[in-house]
Amino acid sequence: MKDLAGRVAFITGGGSGIGFGIAMCAVEAGMRVFIADVRADHLDDGLAKLRAAGAEAHGMLVDVADPAQVERAAEETIKVFGKVHLVCNNAGVSIFGPMDAATAGDWRWIMGVNLDGVINGIQSFVPRLKLHGEGGHIVNTASMAGLLVGPNMGLYCASKFAVVGLTLSLRYDLAPHGIGVSVLCPGFVRSNIHEAVLSRPKSLGATGYPVSDAEMKRLDGVLSVGMAPIEVGTHVIAGVRENRQYIFPHAEFRDELNAVHGELMAALPDREPEEARMAVEDFRRQRRAEAAKLIKNF
């Protein structure tokens, strides 16, 4: 989707952080924007800044973990703008610590926002993208933690690995409809994602990862060295225009990704594959190649 001027973008978590950076860059590209956020203060601040920049912007309070709320946001987007072309399923939360310390509520919270939020966006917006027949693009925000793991990252990595997998498959599914799909995998960004615990629903119960004021201040310092959200947004808009499969804003992961690739290749058995099983895999590869040809055509 190279020509963005006059088109409509819907962005979750759009009031601050990466979502707001994407929204500002979409506006600079001539798009009209609808932002959704779970926090009223972030939503109001984001809308004020977008409008001050001359944007045609609208917004709505949305908990992306609730499919009914996402569906209402989709309906409102169409009501206000008539169509939607770019959907950024971006809202996310994070908690870190030993996986065995997690409560059931911790799992429901992080998977509900990070994974179900993406699924809900797909369910509500893909039919609407198909309906107008003008093509479009979906960007799902995962993380480098969707490709690289480490200690105390189990819940977060589980949610982000899932987003990477579903996004890469969705890319093939939507290619026949002229709809591009990308997965955004950022590293550290100057955002307030650590404040997400402040809007965690009380109905999810106690957490195994209580965050002290001192820890919040420490996280403020860690994130302060992150990439500016507006810079991430420029990578996203470029990725949409070029229909990239992966959008990697951060260069500092090159060596680590190379090492992981090497570990994967080294783990394969050193023998010839079974012919009968190869026939099955060749059929899968053929279907993927056919879909890939469609992707290259738009």
Q: Tell me the per-residue pLDDT of 51-66, one tens digit each, with 9 for 90 and over.
A: 999 999 999 999 999 9
Q: Tell me the per-residue pLDDT of 25-36, one tens digit each, with 9 for 90 and over.
A: 999 999 999 999
Residue 1 lies in a domain: no
**Token code pair at residue 182:** 């990308």
Query: Closest Cα to residue 123, out of 89, 82, 78, 159?
Result: 89
- What pLDDT score does 186 carry? 97
Told to judge if 156 belongs to the known catalytic residues of this protein, a careful annotator would answer yes
Residue 291 lies in a domain: no
Query: Do 163 and 201 meet the contact criterion of CB atoms below 8 Å apart?
Result: no
**Number of domains composing the chain:** 1
Residue 296 lies in a domain: no
**Domain limits for position 230:** 8-254
Q: Tell me the per-residue pLDDT of 276-295, one tens digit each, with 9 for 90 and over.
A: 999 999 999 998 899 888 88
pTM of the full predicted structure? 0.95
**Choice among 156, 172, 209, 246 that is catalytic:** 156
Q: How far is the CA of 121 from the CAs of 12, 56, 88, 133, in angstroms?
A: 9, 22, 8, 18
The CATH number of whichever domain residue 61 belongs to comes to: 3.40.50.720
